Amino acid sequence: MAKIAVLERKCTGCGLCQRGCPFGAIDMANGRPAFNAACRVCGLCVKACPNQAIVKLETRTSTVDKSQWRDILVFAEVSGGRLHPVALELIGKARELAAPLGFKVRAILAGSGVAAEAMELRHYDVDEIAVYDDPQLAYFRADVFAACVEDYIRAVKPSVVLVGATSLGRSLAPRLATRFRTGLTADCTKLEMRENTDLVQIRPAFGGNIMAQIVTANTRPQFATVRYKVMNAPARSDEPSGAIVQRVLPKAARESRVSCVGVTPVPPKTSISDAEILVVGGRGLQKEADLAMIRHLAALLGGDWAVSRPLVEKGWATNERQIGLSGRTVRPRLIITCGVSGAIQFATCMRDSEFIVAINTDRAAPIFDVAHVAIVDDLYKVVPELIEKLKEARA
């Protein structure tokens, strides 16, 4: 990595460097050059300076012995007394990534009374399941859970650590990455593994306008969080396999200064991420009252309803109903979009649905690129007809 530095004792403030910079990256402050974010470290300013007051510094990046870091570790979150479904999805992806390299797939469970969950994981082809079972883990404390996961990582040195992008996972993963002074890529939608064990972590960036490929090349382990409903969960095997290893709560976890003073259960509620059938309203809806039509169609199909971001911004629905990068990722068996244009921020989070029906008057709408059935027509004509047909079928 390189950077530009100014030797103030040699600088006369002539301004030749500023005039010669093609990127406008140099500002003159108090008669001295100051480099802004536009600097490309091209070195033209070094050549332009008659007094050799500007220098280009090269810094050596430290590397890690990648052969010492093997296998893939999945943090298997327990939520509400059961395995969170995202844990199984991560195990499925871990098996896919590990196979070409001959890596093992490991899982870690932390909680109180999680023996049943550990036994359940044995049906998903996990090579080793590390269990931290202690009354102090009965509720989530970020520092305590991080101490447990750190303890196991230091013991087995996995190359990759996958964590679900849940509320708990988004709190845990950054703490772990900081402790190991390594990288973390959040909300990945795709993962690939190179032959040199570098994990290619793909996620939308710049509001979903590009798909960024991020690689943690010089440090280990490689941390990534993955959204629920993005990966495929493996089929459950009838025969259990893999070893369960009981781990002792580390000293750092026992010395936590965080304590629980009370627990208030959150009332259970459904999520559009779990829906098998979804009807989605988009910008094409003319007024808030028209959402009743969307809800009616969803009810007749025995499904749930959702919206795209513009309707949340209008205040017609809450973020919990939104499909998109700033909302939820869904993978239903059937999804019907009504008046949704299908921008990449939306399409990325629903394109893996089993069957997609799109209704839009615009033939060039991006939603038609991912739809299995495209209906180029007015939703105010199509949706009422669908509702009537369903009522007739029921009768």
User: Which tokens is 225 given?
Assistant: 């969080």
Co-location of 124 and 167 in the same domain = yes
Co-location of 134 and 37 in the same domain = no
What is the Cα Rg of the chain in Å?
26
Co-location of 228 and 330 in the same domain = no
Per-residue pLDDT reduced to its tens digit, 55-95: 998 766 678 999 999 999 999 999 888 999 999 999 999 99
Contact between 199 and 216 under an 8 Å Cβ cutoff? The reply is: yes
In a domain, 267, yes or no: no
Co-location of 53 and 85 in the same domain = no
Co-location of 99 and 241 in the same domain = yes
Contact between 71 and 91 under an 8 Å Cβ cutoff? The reply is: no
User: Which tokens is 254 given?
Assistant: 């026992």
- Give pLDDT, residue 44: 92
> Where does a domain end: 200, 222, 254?
254
In a domain, 261, yes or no: no
Report which secondary-structure segment, H or E, holds 392: helix 379-394
Co-location of 97 and 220 in the same domain = yes
Q: Give me the CATH number covering residue 310.
A: 3.40.50.1220
354 DSSP assignment: S
Q: How far apart are the first and last CA of the chain?
A: 71
User: Which tokens is 255 given?
Assistant: 């010395």
- Give pLDDT, residue 81: 85
Q: What sign results for the dihedral spanned by CA atoms 309, 313, 318, 319?
A: positive
In a domain, 266, yes or no: no
In a domain, 259, yes or no: no
Co-location of 51 and 182 in the same domain = no
Q: What is the rounded CA–CA span in Å between residue 365 and residue 20?
A: 46
Burial class (CB in 10 A: 0-12, 13-18, 19+), 279: buried
288 DSSP assignment: G
In a domain, 149, yes or no: yes
Q: What is the rounded CA–CA span in Å between residue 210 and residue 111?
A: 38
Q: Give me the CATH number covering residue 45.
A: 3.30.70.20
Q: Show pLDDT as tens, one digit a residue, over the chain (395 residues).
A: 688 999 989 999 999 999 999 999 999 988 899 999 889 899 999 999 999 999 998 766 678 999 999 999 999 999 888 999 999 999 999 999 999 999 999 999 999 999 999 999 999 999 999 999 999 999 999 999 999 999 999 999 999 999 999 999 999 999 999 999 999 999 999 999 999 999 999 988 876 677 889 999 999 999 999 999 999 999 999 999 999 999 999 999 999 988 888 888 878 788 999 999 999 999 999 999 999 999 999 999 999 999 999 999 999 999 999 999 889 999 999 999 999 999 988 998 999 999 999 999 999 999 999 999 999 999 999 999 999 999 998 88
In a domain, 263, yes or no: no
Co-location of 75 and 51 in the same domain = no
Co-location of 174 and 94 in the same domain = yes
Q: Give me the CATH number covering residue 230.
A: 3.40.50.620
In a domain, 264, yes or no: no
Q: What is the rounded CA–CA span in Å between residue 106 and residue 118?
A: 12
Co-location of 289 and 209 in the same domain = no
Residue 168, CA atoms < 13 Å, CB-side half-sphere: 20
- Tally the domains of the chain: 3
Q: Please identify which residue in the block is written with the tokens 């009838």.
A: 238
| Beta-strand relationship, 184-188 and 222-226 | parallel
- Give pLDDT, residue 60: 67
Kindly report the pTM of this predicted structure.
0.80
In a domain, 155, yes or no: yes
Strand partners, 73: 106, 161
Report which secondary-structure segment, H or E, holds 307: strand 304-307
Co-location of 53 and 115 in the same domain = no
| Beta-strand relationship, 222-226 and 160-164 | parallel
Number of H helices, E strands in the chain: 11, 21
Contact between 253 and 147 under an 8 Å Cβ cutoff? The reply is: yes
Q: At what angle do helices 291-300 and 379-394 cross, to 10 degrees?
A: 30
Report which secondary-structure segment, H or E, holds 192: strand 190-193
Co-location of 41 and 150 in the same domain = no
Q: Which long-range contacts (CB under 8 A, 24 or more apart) does 357-364 make?
A: 359/383, 360/284, 361/284
User: Which tokens is 287 given?
Assistant: 């007024």
> Where does a domain end: 226, 254, 282?
254
CA angle at 305 for the pair 299 and 306, rounded to the nearest 5°: 175
- Give pLDDT, residue 385: 97
Contact between 144 and 253 under an 8 Å Cβ cutoff? The reply is: yes
Three-class SS of residue 113? coil
Q: What is the rounded CA–CA span in Å between residue 71 and residue 118?
A: 19
- Domain range enclosing 172: 66-254
Question: In this structure, how many other beta carbons lie within 10 angstroms of the beta carbon of residue 372?
Answer: 12
Distances in Å between the Cα of 189 and the Cα atoms of 51, 211, 213, 224 are 51, 9, 11, 10
Contact between 205 and 176 under an 8 Å Cβ cutoff? The reply is: no
169 DSSP assignment: H
